[in-house]
Chains A and B, each alone.
Chain A
Amino acid sequence: DVKVTQSSRYLVKRTGEKVFLECVQDMDHENMFWYRQDPGLGLRLIYFSYDVKMKEKGDIPEGYSVSREKKERFSLILESASTNQTSMYLCASIISLGRGYGYTFGSGTRLTVV
């Protein structure tokens, strides 16, 4: 059973803290993605990675950075957390669907910045 694991289900951090969100996948796929999900705004892509050490900005990269040192691990970093980064963060990787593929998501990290 393919799996994407996010290290924390809930996090509470203070404004200005540096925050690390970790994601590990066991599907040996090159592509991994970080999204945030907010009511009324849907899923928005923050960053994605298409290989080790390769990354590309998504639609809302400001205030975030990422790290991909190993194929199975993709980390999202909030350099200086702010209250507007309070959100649900979802990591995704790729599963094969025979003819095509799809995303499988981790269980999500609900981050509250106070």
Chain B
Amino acid sequence: QKEVEQNSGPLSVPEGAIASLNCTYSDRGSQSFFWYRQYSGKSPELIMSIYSNGDKEDGRFTAQLNKASQYVSLLIRDSQPSDSATYLCAVKGYSGGSNYKLTFGKGTLLTVNP
């Protein structure tokens, strides 16, 4: 069973700080990695994707991937109260007829305090 592990939190940071969210995965053959943000009562929204080792930056968000350590992280700089949400890590595997199946972690609840 392929697994994706995240700290459930809650992770609490003050406004303006850097929030660091972490994720590990069990399948060494995984190739694609995603971060989703989910506000309470809403559906998940894709915020970052990363495919190669290293960092990928998009605005205040940076995704970091280390395939050797089977580790992916999301950094949120200058955290805002509007960033308060659950963050889901997702990893692409391959299963049967679909090359698009994702396995999700259980999510980390982030709270940004004004």
Contacts and interface: CB of A to CB of B under 8 A. Distances in A.
Q: Do A and B come from one complex?
A: yes
A45 B45 CA distance: 17
Contact of A31 (B46, B100, B104): B100
A106 B97 contact: no
Contacts of A45: 101, 103
A40 B106 contact: yes
A68 B34 CA distance: 27
Given A51-B97, A56-B95, A107-B43, A102 B106 contact: no
Contacts of B32: 100-101
Q: Is the interface of A mostly helix, strand, loop or mixed?
A: strand
Interface in B45-98: 45-46, 49, 51, 88, 90, 95-98
A40 B8 CA distance: 9
A97 B98 contact: no
The size bracket of the interface on A is 20 to 34
Contacts of B36: 103
Given A105-B43, A106-B43, A56 B34 contact: no
Contacts of B90: 103
Interface in A77-114: 90, 94-95, 97, 99-108
A107 B88 CA distance: 16
A42 to B, nearest CB: 4
Given A56-B96, A102-B49, A104-B46, A48 B106 contact: no
B98 A48 contact: yes
14 contacts: A33-B101, A42-B88, A42-B106, A48-B101, A50-B96, A50-B100, A56-B95, A56-B98, A95-B46, A97-B49, A103-B36, A103-B46, A104-B46, A107-B43
Given A33-B101, A103-B34, A103-B90, 14 more contacts: A35-B104, A42-B106, A43-B104, A50-B97, A50-B98, A51-B97, A90-B44, A94-B100, A100-B32, A102-B46, A102-B49, A103-B46, A103-B100, A105-B45
